[in-house]
Structure 1
Amino acid sequence: MGNSAIKTHLETSQKTGVFQLTGKGLQEFPEELQRLTSNLRTVDLSGNKIEVLPAAIGNFLQMKSLTLNANRLTSLPAEIGKLKKLETLSLNQNQLQTVPGALCQLKALRTLSLSGNLISELPSGLGALRHLDLLDLSHNKIHSIPPEVQELQAIEVNLNQNQISSVAPSIAQCPRLKVLRLEENCLELAAVPLQVLGQSQVSLLSLEGNLFEVKDMRDLEGYDKYMERFTATKKKFT
């Protein structure tokens, strides 16, 4: 990718606040973007070969959306926590094994998408993200959902295609959780927390592709209450 092409994009970005350069084989985060720290609101560098997100990312104080899907990131700098206006962070299909605690400082975050990485544990501290609507951790290597999950504020949590065999019953206490996706994991029927069925706000619980037949859930305590919520939500959208 020639510097002249980046320069052309920079001129446009100066006017629009948007910098998009996808699938161009970039091997590093363009240093030239530092000139636009005061007005860049959206950056999309998906489909490149970026291995490192520089600490200087913390200078983009106006940024609302950062998308780096399908790159080669193995870690994130703590400085990402400085992006106080960030609403969308999308890092699908990278090679992240963990995420820094600094993510918990992104108080405006509404969408956190980390699908297709190498994450083996539910990141801790995400309960600090009070405005989080969607947490996508599908296609990772998570084995269990710990009790601290009750702190999550997300409306939808996608954990499809992990290796989850146990779910803490406290997930039923998530104050805003409406959609819980756990398809294609390693759950036995006995591992489905009855509290999610009978005592939560979850109106869509997706469990296809686990170690039991979904129809067997009908016999579980609280299933009728869950179906009432499911049906009521369905009616809203029909």
Structure 2
Amino acid sequence: MKTWCALAFLWLAYFCHGTLSCPALCKCYLRRAEVVCNEVPMIEYPSEGLPKNTTLLTIQFTNITSISENHLNPTPLLEGLHLYSNHLQSLSSHLLRGVTRLNTLDLTGNKISDLPADVFSHAPLRNLVLKNNLLEKADAEWLPDNSNLTWLDLSGNRLTQIPAALLQKLPHLDSLDLANNLLEKISANSLDQLTKLERLNLQNNKLDTLDASILQSTQNLNYLFLSRNKLNKLPQNLFQELPQLKLLSLDDNQLSHIPTGLLDPLKSLDEEGLDLTANPWVCDGKTEYLWRWLQKNKEKVFLPDTIICASPPSLMGRSVMSLTESELN
């Protein structure tokens, strides 16, 4: 009888609480092979006690400062590792050597300023998020050649450039987020390998122009975010190879004119898919192309009546849409 009761207790513990073993300050859910740790007092990675069959591990809002290959070895079946908003400052080289099924690694909101070579090799990562850290440079040596990544998020760091050698290792990438950095230039051929790219976010950087050929290989691009930069001129053929583009944000830049024909290739823009607001438009003869395009494509433009003339003084504050042909000339 006692044996039967003991077995019944173990059975209840197993299915009600998800596991018989679970690290302190964590919750383990055996049925979905998931562990969640979100307690501030935690200062070390909870290797001991983690169920060996764990496939999804979330550690957030703790005081953990480092993580190594040895920490991950007890969970070889891991597929998703989410380390949000901790105090991680360093990752060991060959970090992922023991988790050969890991496809998602999210390190958002830590204090990582530098990373060793090969840190993201040895696992078939498809999603890598390094958002809101302290990185000042990105390095091609982080990743293996012909990486499986489809999603790379480096937004919210201190990057001044993105090496072409890094992007050349990402032929499967469909989303690249470089927003909220300090980028001043994107080199001419750096995106040539990204033929599957669908989403490119460059907003809130320091770009003042873009090379005419920068987007020539990204024909699958659907979303392009360029707002809050310092763009003051754009090449006439910049969007020539973007027939599938649905959304384009150019707001909050320094554009005074756009070249004739710039917007003509954008046949697939969504309703309100183009944002040109908050630019210092000079309303003169050179604005006639923009004026005519707006008249024909008003439904594709976000708040078209708020695209405002900054000069000349006689037209300052007027909506470009409201101008007459004689006023432009």
TM-score category of the 2 structures, normalised to the smaller one: 0.7 to 0.9
- Select which of 146, 154, 158 maps to 1:95: 158
On the 8 A contact 1:13/1:40 being kept in 2, the answer is no
Q: Deviations over 1:106-162 (max 9, x none)?
A: 011010001111100134321320110111011100001221134141221101100
Q: Deviations over 1:35-78 (max 9, x none)?
A: 43522110011111101122113523400000011101111221
Q: Name the CA distance, whole Å, in 2 between partners of 1:193 and 1:51.
A: 40
Q: Name the CA distance, whole Å, in 2 between partners of 1:142 and 1:162.
A: 5
The residue that corresponds to 2:294 in the other structure is 223
Change over 3 Å in CA distance of 1:13–1:68 after alignment to 2: farther
Q: Name the CA distance, whole Å, in 2 between partners of 1:225 and 1:105.
A: 41
RMSD (Å), alpha carbons: 2.8
Change over 3 Å in CA distance of 1:226–1:104 after alignment to 2: farther
Structure 1 gaps, min length 5: 232-238
Partner letter of residue 49 of structure 1? K
Q: Deviations over 1:1-58 (max 9, x none)?
A: 6444366453786334111111111101255833435221100111111011221135
Q: Name the CA distance, whole Å, in 2 between partners of 1:113 and 1:40.
A: 21
The residue that corresponds to 2:193 in the other structure is 128
Partner letter of residue 60 of structure 1? H
Does the alignment pair 1:33 with 2:95? Answer: yes
Q: Name the CA distance, whole Å, in 1 between partners of 2:172 and 2:156.
A: 23
Structure 2 gaps, min length 5: 1-41, 51-56, 58-71, 302-329
On the 8 A contact 1:81/1:106 being kept in 2, the answer is no
Change over 3 Å in CA distance of 1:32–1:127 after alignment to 2: closer
The residue that corresponds to 2:171 in the other structure is 107
Partner letter of residue 214 of structure 2? V
What TM-score comes out, normalization by structure 2 length?
Answer: 0.62
Asked which structure has the greater CA Rg, the reply is: 2
Identify the structure with the greater helix proportion.
Answer: 1
Q: Name the CA distance, whole Å, in 2 between partners of 1:219 and 1:39.
A: 51
On the 8 A contact 1:202/1:226 being kept in 2, the answer is no
The residue that corresponds to 1:236 in the other structure is none
Identity level (%): 27
- Select which of 170, 186, 190 maps to 2:254: 186
Change over 3 Å in CA distance of 1:120–1:84 after alignment to 2: same
The residue that corresponds to 1:157 in the other structure is 224
Q: Name the CA distance, whole Å, in 2 between partners of 1:51 and 1:144.
A: 28
What TM-score comes out, normalization by structure 1 length?
Answer: 0.83
Number of equivalences: 227
